A and B are shown apart, each in its own frame.
Chain A
């Protein structure tokens, strides 16, 4: 019961990107995943990639309003990693039937599908942002990612006032939207 409560607290912390919670989950699960990847044709880099991918999937899962985890964190992380790694091996043509199963798994196919859709969206946004050029990119990143206010952004970028900065930001935003939707709608 106590362990369960603890897991709930960790997930809550993860949802808020609390660094202590992230560290705990990372520490408690990474070595297991690394062992699995290393034992199945993978490298240290593969292990880190796959594990972080699974962490992102879990984090984004906690963001949904209807979020519930029906199993232990380590089961979920391991299941996602295992599935992701099998896919990766298949893509690389290194697929082997003998995949060790060192832990219990749960079906995570649906979650992985959602995760891959988000991966695609993230890549589109990333590409769109990067093709904007400066100072648009930094301005938008400052406003939407770093959540700075217009005053601070105006100062940082050297605009004479916040209104000018705001105007510029909207111009950039329109360009970004155009770039994003061009890609996004093709993807659909």
Chain B
């Protein structure tokens, strides 16, 4: 019992809860009695051990809780899902034959449906889209009367098939236009906005991309020193970007402008894009320029059902086909696409003034 009281006193002493007089008495006792002094030291050490023990116990609990919390939140993974995975694999092995049969039946049905759908749905290109080349034979008489002050370079007995627009991509006389402008014809002439007519030859046709390259092959042609515009190489087009074109829907060069309204073309075709712009037969093959005088596209088709919905082929396709030509035909190594536009910052009239000489009417015809 005495030990008990002594321990209690020691603990109160160590906790610092003794009254000053009591404390003084106890310290005196401690000094005079080595046994008590030893007990105090021992107990102090023991209490320290108890503190360490309790702190660690609590901390261990904290860790345990944190671990469970993080596991629940999914921050910690301990492979607990492995057992369920194993079960899925078991199920798979058990039913894989059935699954395979079901999957193939499903596949066959899906194929059959898609065949039926495609056979019943209308072919979009023919029904919904109109190529912007014009059928020349209707307008033939008109042409001849307008150009009659100069001798026509059309050979005797030639039948005009189609017409469209083309523009220079190299001052030496290389012109790009739509492949569909040349459809059904083997010869081509180009006429400048000053009504100068030049003979040209077809160098390259890519029906998939709907692009064709012509070369003016005429002694009367005087090459330009440089082209005022450049051909944009990146396919980046911004929605709402203002664009304009020059073309020959009539026998007179005609300007129209619009805005980029979609980054892809008909049926989400990524090689082309959509413009809100009025376009007419004859505009096909015309350059589409942005405000900086960069050619960003080639006008090609319009949607029949919708008003003013026009499609253009992205200008980077010109770069692609030029590369193709260079790889396949060594005689046209010299094509150099213009890299810099001199039209930046100019007003629209000046820009058009500089561009219009580089835009040609394309006449495709057959000889008799």
**Given A44-B78, A170-B7, A174-B7, residue A55 in contact with residue B56 (CB < 8 A):** no
Candidates A19, A171, A174; contact of B62 at CB < 8 Å: A19
Residues of B within 8 A of A (CB): 3-4, 7-8, 11, 42-43, 46, 49-60, 62-67, 69-70, 75-76, 78-79
Q: Which residues of B contact A177 (CB under 8 A)?
A: 42-43, 46
Residues of A within 8 A of B (CB): 17, 19, 22-23, 26-27, 30-31, 34, 44, 47-48, 52, 55-56, 59-60, 63, 118, 121-122, 125-126, 129, 144-145, 166-167, 170-171, 173-174, 177, 180-181, 184
Q: Which residues of B contact A181 (CB under 8 A)?
A: 42, 46
Q: Which residues of A contact B79 (CB under 8 A)?
A: 44
Are A30 and B76 in contact (CB-based, < 8 A)?
Answer: yes
C-alpha gap A129/B65 in the complex (Å):
23
Are A145 and B58 in contact (CB-based, < 8 A)?
Answer: yes
C-alpha gap A129/B59 in the complex (Å):
18
Q: Which residues of A contact B56 (CB under 8 A)?
A: 56, 59-60, 118, 122
Are B57 and A180 in contact (CB-based, < 8 A)?
Answer: no
Q: Which residues of B contact A19 (CB under 8 A)?
A: 62, 65-66
Q: Closest A-chain residue to B48, C-beta based?
A: A121
C-alpha gap A48/B67 in the complex (Å):
9
**Given A60-B56, A121-B52, residue A174 in contact with residue B3 (CB < 8 A):** yes
Are B8 and A170 in contact (CB-based, < 8 A)?
Answer: yes
Q: How far is the CB of A71 from chain B (nearest CB, A)?
A: 22
Q: How far is the CB of A136 from chain B (nearest CB, A)?
A: 14
Are B66 and A26 in contact (CB-based, < 8 A)?
Answer: yes
Give 21 CB contacts A-B under 8 Å. Answer: A17-B59, A19-B66, A23-B66, A23-B70, A26-B66, A26-B70, A55-B59, A56-B56, A56-B60, A60-B55, A118-B52, A144-B50, A144-B53, A144-B54, A145-B57, A171-B4, A174-B3, A177-B42, A177-B43, A177-B46, A180-B49
C-alpha gap A171/B75 in the complex (Å):
47
Q: How far is the CB of A140 from chain B (nearest CB, A)?
A: 8
Candidates A31, A52, A63, A125; contact of B53 at CB < 8 Å: A125
Q: How far is the CB of A147 from chain B (nearest CB, A)?
A: 8
Are A26 and B46 in contact (CB-based, < 8 A)?
Answer: no
